[in-house]
Amino acid sequence: MASKPSLKRRTLKLVRKTFGDRSALELGGRSLRNVVKFRTGSPIERRDFYAVRNGSGERFGVFGIGGCDVTAITGAGPLLSRAHRGTLCVGSFAKADHVRSDLLVQTLDPPDPAVTREVVEKLGLIDHYFSPALFDPTFRVPDQQGLGEFPKNVVVLSISADTARTVYRHREHGFLVDPGGWWLTTDMATVLDDLSVTKWFAKNFVTARRISLEDSMANFERIITEVRKRTGAFVVLMNVLTVDPGSSSLDYMHANSPHRVRRREFHLAVAELAARTNVALLDVDRIAKETGISRQADFVHYTPDQKRRMSEQLARLLISEGVIGNGRG
């Protein structure tokens, strides 16, 4: 016999029924609950961040930015907390449609807000889409303002968006934007009923296509330089799985496979970039292959087993390099 839903679940159901999913009340309640947990020393674990207060030492922050793949670093939190007496946060900003390298470089010289305001509104972008948030010396966990600010002691940069995303250029003002999955994640009836945004986008933007390997690496080199200069962070590059999980055994016959080729090209270029800029590399390609890719849906979504290994490797790197622990951090 099914058990009766708990009081917590019934309350949540009532709140959602009254105010809708992810209402300010629901998010505020969660945030408050997490702050209480955090202040009492309990870790807060979510897919995209881990935070814990472990004694009265300094704050230490690991900030990851990339596509869905970058959530693989969150599991490093519990491991790093053993090496750090103080407050720790491992946060991953996993938004593939915000983080292609040319979009990040663009934030260093942002377009006029008067021009971009309409774009932010119509495409439902986050408020700081055109702001250089990556290069700020601190970060906050979205929806968890009560946890406070964390320094960017470590910045993990994933290249996955550069291998896959297409961005668009404003015909008049020249700035770039990735509209993301707006047309796909919005109810189809809504989209078809009102095509004004679609028409507006088509009128004002033109595709800038996928980024070239050379441009991407030049952008990342600049990003690494600026992140180091503005935050003092220890920078880690994260590569990407080069093979296609679940592909049919016969799809190589006399066919070009541009995605696989492109990812292999990026894989080699990132190793060269890491050497050139003296940046550590989290080799997720190797870890994913070693663990087994057959349960992956695609090249950028990793399984729990793979994520655990990636987090372990990141923690091992940061501890062995003395970035955290041994009195540092």
Partner 1 sequence: MTDRATDPHPSTVTVMLVDSADVSGSVGRAGFLESHLRPHDAGGSVVEVITVSGGRCDVLAQRLESAHSPDLPVPAELATWFGDTTAPVQLPDSMAVLVLSMADALTAGVWRHRTTGVLVQPPPDRAEIWSAQAEEWLVDGFEPVPPDSDLLTAGVGNIAKHLEPLDAALVVLNTSTYVPGEEVFWYMPDDPETRAIRAARINLVADRLIPDLGLTVVDVDRVMAELGAGESVAGPAQYTTDALEVLAEEALASIRDLPRIHRDFSSDAMRLAVPRYDRRTERGVLTRWHVDTGALVGKGDPLFDLRFDGIYAHLDATGENAGRSLFLSVVAGRAGFVDTITVPAGGAVEVGTGVGVITVAAGTQWDDIENAAAFPVGVKVETRDGQ
C-alpha 127: how far from chain center = 16
Enumerate residues 287-306 that contact partner 1 by CB under 8 A: 288-297, 304-305
CA distance 80 to 316: 9
Measured from the CB atom, is 12 or 281 closer to partner 1?
281
The residue range among 72-80, 157-165, 205-213, 237-245 that interacts with partner 1, by the rule CB under 8 A, is 237-245
The single-letter DSSP state of residue 39 is: H
From candidates 317, 319, 323, 324, binder to partner 1 by CB under 8 A: 317
From candidates 46, 140, 222, 286, binder to partner 1 by CB under 8 A: 286
Q: Tell me whether strands 59-66 and 150-151 are parallel, antiparallel or unpaired.
A: unpaired
Rg (CA), the chain: 21
From candidates 44, 283, 315, 329, binder to partner 1 by CB under 8 A: 283
From candidates 118, 121, 194, 272, binder to partner 1 by CB under 8 A: 272
Measured from the CB atom, is 129 or 266 closer to partner 1?
266
Measured from the CB atom, is 130 or 299 closer to partner 1?
299
CA distance 304 to 301: 10
Q: Judging by beta carbons within 10 Å of its beta carbon (0-12, 13-18, 19+), is residue 139 exposed, middle or buried?
A: buried
Measured from the CB atom, is 197 or 243 closer to partner 1?
243
Q: Is 282 in the site for partner 1 (CB under 8 A)?
A: yes
Contact 163, 262 (CB under 8 A): yes
Hey, how many other C-beta atoms are within 10 angstroms of the C-beta on 241? 25
Using DSSP, how many helices (H) and how many strands (E) does the chain show? Answer: 13, 12
Measured from the CB atom, is 107 or 239 closer to partner 1?
239
Shortest distance, CB of residue 67 to partner 1, whole angstroms?
19
Shortest distance, CB of residue 281 to partner 1, whole angstroms?
6
C-alpha 88: how far from chain center = 18
Measured from the CB atom, is 207 or 294 closer to partner 1?
294
177 bridge partner residues: 168
Q: CB-based contacts of 54: which residues, under 8 Å, 6+ apart?
A: 41, 81, 84, 85, 86, 87, 88
Q: Is 242 in the site for partner 1 (CB under 8 A)?
A: yes
Q: Is 276 in the site for partner 1 (CB under 8 A)?
A: yes
The interface mask with partner 1, positions 190-229, x = CB under 8 A, is: ----------------------------------------
Q: Give CA angle at 28 (45, 64), nearest 5°.
A: 40
Q: Which residues bind partner 1 (CB under 8 A)?
A: 241-257, 260-261, 264-265, 267-268, 271-272, 274-276, 278, 280-283, 285-286, 288-297, 304-305, 313, 317, 321
